[in-house]
Amino acid sequence: MRGVTSEDPVPVTIELNGRRRSGRATARTLLTDFLRSELGATGTHVGCEHGVCGACTVRIDGVAQRGCLTLAIQADGRKVDTVEGLSDRKDALTVLQQALHRNHALQCGYCTPGILMSFSDFLARNPNPGEQEIREVLGGHICRCTGYAGLMKALMEAAAEMRGEPPQKSDSELAT
């Protein structure tokens, strides 16, 4: 049996975006705080801290879930993917990121990392989603700049492009 007593920090090792990373956590340290404060991976955002807003969504062993409803110690030895791991270069955004960019699907960007982590899992498992299904998954995120219309357009486009359909042109490309 693994046991961690109260406030004594213990080593926790995860595979963060493909790299082995270690830090220390107490029994009650949340995965979000471990990522941000201990490993410096601040791309994962913290909103409501009770699972409602979706800003903290990360992938654990490939599956999108709430970082704030996970103890750091529960992630020990597992693969954790965050927004930092989607693309390693500024000029090499993923199809999903490009679609958000093209459709102005973010304003302040606080909710964006969580949405990217949800849909990178969802679209990989459901390559041919209907609008209603995308709407339902997006319902697990709160955007207070209300960029939902842009997000819906971007997510539909990204799904189509990931299926191999031709990419959409951006407004600026169409203008020239």
Partner 1 sequence: MKPAPFTYMRPENLDETVATLSQHGADARLLAGGQSLMAMLNLRLVEPSVIVDISRMPELNAIKLRKGMIEIGASVTQSELLAWPELEAQAPFISKALPWVGHFQTRNRGTICGSLAHADPSSELPLALALLEGEVVLRSTSGTRVLKAQEFQSGMLQTARADDEIITAVRFPAGAGARGTAFREVARRHGDFAIVAVGVIARDDGTLRIGIGGVADTPQCIEMNADAGPDEVKDRIEHLAWQLGGFDDIHASARFRRDLVRRLAPALIEEVRACAV
Q: At its nearest, how many Å lie between partner 1 and the CB of residue 7?
A: 5
Distance CA 96, CA 60 (A): 19
User: Given the rule CB under 8 A, which of 23-31, 81-89, 97-105, 167-175 is the region that contacts partner 1?
Assistant: 23-31
Q: How many residues does the chain have?
A: 176
The burial class, CB within 10 Å (0-12 / 13-18 / 19+), for 82 is buried
User: Given the rule CB under 8 A, which of 11-19, 27-35, 144-152, 165-173 is the region that contacts partner 1?
Assistant: 27-35
Residues 75-114 that bind partner 1 (CB under 8 A): none
Distance CA 79, CA 83 (A): 14
Nearest of 81, 66, 150, 155 to residue 119 by alpha carbon? 155
Nearest of 51, 42, 46, 41 to residue 15 by alpha carbon? 41
Residues 113-132 that bind partner 1 (CB under 8 A): 118, 121-122
Q: At its nearest, how many Å lie between partner 1 and the CB of residue 152?
A: 14
15 contributes a contact to partner 1 by CB under 8 A = no
* Contact positions vs partner 1 (CB under 8 A): 1-7, 26-28, 30, 33, 49-51, 54, 57, 63-66, 68-71, 73-74, 118, 121-122, 136-137, 139-140
